Structure 1
Amino acid sequence: MAGTTAQTLRPFLWRAARLYPEREIVSRTHEGIERTTYAAYERRVAQLANALDDAGVGRDERIATVCWNHTRHFETYFGVPCRGSQLHTINPLLPDHHIQYIVENAEDRLVFVDPSLVEKLESCYADSNGAFDTVERFVVMGGEVPDTSLAPVTDYESFVEGHDETYDWPDLDEETPAGMCYTSGTTGKPKGVEYTQSMMWAHTMGILPEAGLDLGADDVVMPVVPMFHVMAWGLPHAVTAAGGKHVYPGPAPDPADIARLIEEEEVTFTAGVPTVWLGLLEYLEENDADLSSLERIAIGGAAAPKSLIRTYEEEHGVQVLHAWGMTETSPVAAAAHLKPGMEEWPAEKRDEKRVKQGLVLPGLEFKVMGEDGEVPWNDEDFGELWIRGPWVTTEYFQRPEANETDFEDGWLKTGDVVRVDSEGYIQIVDRAKDVIKSGGEWISSQELENAIMAHDDVSEATVIGVPHEKWQERPVAFVVPREGVGKGPLASDLMDLLSTEYPKWWLPDDVVYIESVPKTATGKFDKKVLREEYSNHAVEAPEEAAPDEE
């Protein structure tokens, strides 16, 4: 509703700057650690908004960022949307042609870019065939401009310097577009998802409570998940709303950087994809680090292995919270909290709940749809997860063909195949495109992957279906062994391990050793690459590669 700021982002910053003016915002840079406070941050945000006014940027236009996790990037998180513009975060790890498409499709007016990513953006800009025609200026996130073909270009400090440290913030309609992200586009062109002020406000309020990510003013939060990846899962806005301390790990942090920041800044909460936390565990095996301040790690983007959850809990006293979401859900939509009484369960039984995607967050609804209608919550039947709520999108940006197939009566069809137990815990069985069909029956590639990655000698693993003349598809496992592990014995161990949990027809027909699992620009396993490379891979399937009729 126009004339009110009830469900917009601006009150979050207003509150933090007045109730927690000296609370720190910390950022790792190439030069060292930079520190500021909410009070100083609010002044910088106002300078940025005034600079955008002077640059002639309309309040309804899009401003893009190609940046890592740092304070200057964080300034755009409030400076852009609170003036009524739309912040469009671009993933620099995407292929050049995807970035070109995204900039052209979004019609970005300005692009903020990190110095370390200028060369990447130049390669997109040089042969863009008009994709950057709407971009009127590039702003390098620093105090100087490097040699570059980007034009016109200025540095961030010069861009904001001298502008007033107060701003007459407008009263925005809560349906004003505030943010924008694109899907990674692994099955076609990336799809744009717009977030309104009310969607971002609702998502922030949804992840703050205990049923969400449980964030408070006493928390010190370090988002390792990139700020270009669905806006760091909403953490920059949520931590501000809570009045907590921000810690930004800067460009491409390695395990040593992460461990050092946790120790020196006394981080209590952090978040990222599983590979980050597996890498930290490997680092801790050979290096000392004090993680005593760390209470919780939120893991999303891919399934968290049970062994990872157990190791952090038993060896480091850190609770791992498995969370689930999508670009289309802003993104956090479920978290694997234990219900009252479950903490008293044996560890193995608790872990069975913790490895699931968990309980839907308050404010959202979901259902599981099979071929014959809604699927019951019996922990057995599979179906596609449909979800809706105040921070779930109901359409893609300028993609009518996708809107026709991916939405129905206000529900988002996620493309995730799930089952739900009697307690309401969602477990993703697979992506619809990744389920393996053998002899007319379904095999969950994700379940096999989780079981394989639970083995101590496995660093990474993924499972795909390869074409088979008789059975249509058969599973093949691709494994990255830990350094120094004998490959022959490992394959045998893995088959023995799987045979104790799964029927014979589920077992992979081959174990292929690879140097690393291909990944998408958002760090997820890219099975498409392996499917293409191994489309003619010969396997010898068991005589019965599907269950008996009876």
Structure 2
Amino acid sequence: MEGCQQTLESFSWRAESIYPDREIVARTHEGKQRYTYSEFTDRTRQLANALDSLGIEHSDRVGTFCWNHDRHFETYFGVPNMGAQLHTINPLLPDSHIQYIVEDAADKVLFVDPSLAEKLASAYDPDAFESVEQFVIIGSTVPDLPLEPLTDYESFIEAEPTEYDWPNVSQDDMAGMCYTSGTTGKPKGVEYTQQMMWSHTMAMLTPQGLGIQDSDVVMPIVPMFHVNAWGMPFAATAAGAKQVFPGPAPEPADIAHLIEEEGVTIAAGVPTVWLGLLEYMEENECDLSTLDSIVIGGAAAPKAVIEQFDEFDVSVVHAWGMTEMSPVGSVANLTHDLQDAPYETQLEKRGKQGIIVPGLEFKVIDDDGREVSWDGEAFGELLVRGPWVTTEYHERPEANKADFEGDWLRTGDIVTVDEDGYIELVDRADDVIKSGGEWISSQELENAIMAHDKVSEAAVIGVPHERWQERPVAMVVVSEEVDRESLTEELKKMLRGEYPKWWLPDGFNYIDEIPKTATGKFSKMDLREQYGDEELLEENAPTEAAPGDR
């Protein structure tokens, strides 16, 4: 006998029924806004009625081009609860990618932030946007832009009733969609069923996930256009937690003020967000007393960042995932037998990508397809499978063939697994450096270099070498007053104490900024295109040791 369907509507129903007065707060273009779950769910029903009136039907796609705020949050439930599919679009992508994504997804409606309207207009192409029947500005005024037809959000929903009979949506219906950033080709569309998003949410609520509770105040700084803000808006709603949305392009000061003013207990973002906050705190008084934990994903969390937040009694929770995984796959929570371990042991575990969350399975294979040992040393590619892991891309059969083995997703991440089951990302398959037949982890070198207090950012790339195939070169960002020659010697000395000689970068190249991808990660592809030639080796110190010289 089949039970109830596993759908998102159950989460919003629970929040409205049990926590009707719990607050939702948003920093917006028009100032800070706040309302309750009861008012929020009324507005999601108005939104569903408005989409119905427009003719949006089951499985139609509704796109968003928005930052993190309350109106974007309304689409998170209003769209999938009516049986349509929410497609969050990354506004930081190149215009050509945005055109491809809108055309490929065939979006019927696009919700757009005022500050992003000109960006969308610059990407607008009548052929690529042929499917779009309505543009909606998330604001009180409608700008003069070539987006037709165009209205504002309040006008779009205000005349609609707050009652709506939600349909019996199947757990197999598509609820969400997000495209990969397309750093190695065209972006790939990943679709999420109701059941995938429901399962991911339940995993995030467990103590071995993020452990969100109704007493929490949750602030996702990770963009809502990037893989459902790591699923936090859904998990917080399911838990009945207060939610705080930081709005358009928040600066460190905005983040600090929201934590203080709203009593944030858990927040999430990429490492650069937290590096920025730490720098801000060096010159400004900040009260982080309510903040229990921050979730770091998207890139490895430098141990120095973990240690600095420990000083403020804020726990850094390291997590890993992918667009294809809805997205969280592992979380670096400490197991019970590590609770009393020495601090350095705990720090080592917390700096890894963590333990696979309940509900997923993984394996690590070598170049011959054999599983590697869990000894913390053997490298291999990570494969995962589970109820919220996709098994195909939207209309991309050639990518399906390359990236999936049955129900296993080939992540493209090179990892080791220690004897306690903690996964550690060594590198992306495209970024790991192979020198003289041996692997060098660019990511591990980057984290070590960024641990130096004079270094703001660092990325390590492999450049061609006539004898050794590839050699590592470090691209480093420092402030103008830093003596770069002295720093180079300090970095070399520091790395010699931690790594074999053949791991040491053959050059330290100082640049103004590390280029970023549309999701805020370091763009190794751009660095390789700009700097990846042997001149960097010739201009800097020669190779200090052969890869075989241990």
Cα distance in 2 between the residues matched to 1:425 and 1:482: 35
- Residue 289 of structure 1 and its aligned partner are, at CA, apart by 1.2
Letter in 2 for 1:200: M
Q: 1:403 aligns with which of 400, 403, 420?
A: 400
User: 1:182-261 to 2 correspondence within 5 Å?
Assistant: 182-261=179-258
1:331 aligns with 2:327: yes
Contact 2:391-2:406 at 8 Å conserved across structures? no
Q: 1:265 aligns with which of 254, 262, 267?
A: 262
Q: Deviations over 1:495-519 (max 9, x none)?
A: 1111111111110000000111000
State the partner residue of 1:95.
94
Letter in 1 for 2:435: S
State the partner residue of 1:141.
138
Letter in 1 for 2:543: P
Cα distance in 2 between the residues matched to 1:88 and 1:190: 14
Contact 1:4-1:171 at 8 Å conserved across structures? no
- Residue 343 of structure 1 and its aligned partner are, at CA, apart by 2.8
- Residue 385 of structure 1 and its aligned partner are, at CA, apart by 0.1
1:365 aligns with 2:353: no
CA-atom RMSD, angstroms?
Answer: 1.2
Contact 2:381-2:413 at 8 Å conserved across structures? yes
1:118 aligns with 2:106: no
State the partner residue of 2:70.
71
- Classify 1:312/1:543 alpha carbon distance in 2 versus 1 (closer, same or farther; 3 Å): closer
- Classify 1:72/1:400 alpha carbon distance in 2 versus 1 (closer, same or farther; 3 Å): same
SS at 1:68's partner residue?
A: coil
Q: 1:346 aligns with which of 342, 346, 360?
A: 342
Letter in 2 for 1:473: E
SS at 1:234's partner residue?
A: helix
- Structure 1 window deviating more from structure 2 (475-484 vs 293-302): it is 475-484
Contact 2:20-2:38 at 8 Å conserved across structures? yes
Letter in 2 for 1:233: W
State the partner residue of 1:449.
446
- Residue 486 of structure 1 and its aligned partner are, at CA, apart by 1.6
Cα distance in 1 between the residues matched to 2:182 and 2:272: 21
1:469 aligns with 2:470: no
User: 1:474-489 to 2 correspondence within 5 Å?
Assistant: 474-482=471-479, 484-489=481-486
Q: Deviations over 1:190-234 (max 9, x none)?
A: 000000000000000011111001100000001000000101000
Cα distance in 1 between the residues matched to 2:103 and 2:430: 28
Cα distance in 1 between the residues matched to 2:272 and 2:408: 31
SS at 2:56's partner residue?
A: coil
Cα distance in 2 between the residues matched to 1:92 and 1:324: 23
Cα distance in 2 between the residues matched to 1:542 and 1:156: 60
Cα distance in 1 between the residues matched to 2:3 and 2:39: 26
- Residue 439 of structure 1 and its aligned partner are, at CA, apart by 1.0
TM-score by length of 1: 0.98
SS at 2:378's partner residue?
A: coil
- Residue 321 of structure 1 and its aligned partner are, at CA, apart by 0.2
Cα distance in 2 between the residues matched to 1:154 and 1:363: 43
Cα distance in 2 between the residues matched to 1:543 and 1:271: 40
Cα distance in 2 between the residues matched to 1:471 and 1:6: 57
State the partner residue of 1:170.
167
Letter in 2 for 1:542: T
Cα distance in 2 between the residues matched to 1:543 and 1:275: 32
Contact 2:23-2:37 at 8 Å conserved across structures? yes
Contact 1:5-1:172 at 8 Å conserved across structures? no
Letter in 2 for 1:119: E
Contact 1:445-1:475 at 8 Å conserved across structures? yes
State the partner residue of 2:7.
8
- Structure 1 window deviating more from structure 2 (174-183 vs 535-544): it is 535-544
Contact 2:205-2:235 at 8 Å conserved across structures? yes
Contact 2:25-2:243 at 8 Å conserved across structures? yes
Contact 1:4-1:172 at 8 Å conserved across structures? no
Cα distance in 2 between the residues matched to 1:161 and 1:31: 18
Cα distance in 2 between the residues matched to 1:542 and 1:509: 5
SS at 2:39's partner residue?
A: helix
State the partner residue of 1:425.
422
Percent of pairs identical after alignment? Answer: 64
Contact 2:364-2:383 at 8 Å conserved across structures? yes
Cα distance in 1 between the residues matched to 2:87 and 2:4: 22
State the partner residue of 1:49.
48
Letter in 2 for 1:209: T
SS at 1:344's partner residue?
A: coil
- Classify 1:469/1:129 alpha carbon distance in 2 versus 1 (closer, same or farther; 3 Å): farther
Cα distance in 2 between the residues matched to 1:522 and 1:4: 38
Cα distance in 2 between the residues matched to 1:180 and 1:217: 27
State the partner residue of 1:304.
301
Q: 1:287 aligns with which of 281, 284, 296?
A: 284
- Residue 537 of structure 1 and its aligned partner are, at CA, apart by 3.6
SS at 1:64's partner residue?
A: strand
SS at 1:80's partner residue?
A: helix
User: 1:505-520 to 2 correspondence within 5 Å?
Assistant: 505-520=502-517
- Structure 1 window deviating more from structure 2 (261-270 vs 336-345): it is 336-345
Cα distance in 1 between the residues matched to 2:543 and 2:277: 39
Q: Structure 2: 5+ residue runs without aligned partners?
A: none
Contact 1:506-1:545 at 8 Å conserved across structures? no
Cα distance in 2 between the residues matched to 1:547 and 1:393: 41
- Residue 483 of structure 1 and its aligned partner are, at CA, apart by 5.2
Cα distance in 2 between the residues matched to 1:141 and 1:366: 41
Cα distance in 2 between the residues matched to 1:60 and 1:445: 42
Cα distance in 2 between the residues matched to 1:270 and 1:355: 18
- Residue 345 of structure 1 and its aligned partner are, at CA, apart by 2.1
SS at 1:414's partner residue?
A: strand
State the partner residue of 2:60.
61
SS at 2:526's partner residue?
A: helix
Letter in 1 for 2:375: N
Cα distance in 1 between the residues matched to 2:126 and 2:171: 36
State the partner residue of 1:24.
23
Letter in 2 for 1:490: L
Contact 1:222-1:270 at 8 Å conserved across structures? yes
- Residue 484 of structure 1 and its aligned partner are, at CA, apart by 2.8
Cα distance in 1 between the residues matched to 2:253 and 2:126: 41
Letter in 2 for 1:221: V
Q: Structure 1: 5+ residue runs without aligned partners?
A: none
Letter in 1 for 2:332: A
Contact 1:5-1:171 at 8 Å conserved across structures? no
Q: Deviations over 1:299-319 (max 9, x none)?
A: 0000000000000012x1100
Letter in 1 for 2:28: T
State the partner residue of 1:151.
148
Q: Deviations over 1:236-261 (max 9, x none)?
A: 11100000000000100000000000
User: 1:430-441 to 2 correspondence within 5 Å?
Assistant: 430-441=427-438
User: 1:522-537 to 2 correspondence within 5 Å?
Assistant: 522-537=519-534
- Structure 1 window deviating more from structure 2 (174-183 vs 439-448): it is 439-448
- Residue 469 of structure 1 and its aligned partner are, at CA, apart by 1.0
- Residue 346 of structure 1 and its aligned partner are, at CA, apart by 2.2
